[in-house]
Amino acid sequence: MPAPIPARRPAGNAGEQVVNRHLVAAALGRLTREHRDVLRECYFLSGSVPQAADALGIAPGMVKSRTYYALRALRLAIEELRDVE
CATH number of domain containing 49: 1.10.10.10
Q: pLDDT by residue (tens digit) across 11-33? A: 568 888 888 888 999 999 999 99
Which pLDDT score is estimated for 9? 58
Bigger pLDDT: 51 vs 2:
51
Q: pLDDT by residue (tens digit) across 34-77? A: 999 999 999 989 889 999 999 999 999 999 999 999 999 999 99
DSSP 8-state symbol, 30: T
Domain that holds residue 48: 14-84
Count up the domains in the chain and report the number: 1
Which pLDDT score is estimated for 7? 57
**In contact, 77 and 30? CB cutoff 8 Å:** yes
The span from the CA of 37 to the CA of 55, in Å, is 10
Which pLDDT score is estimated for 30? 96
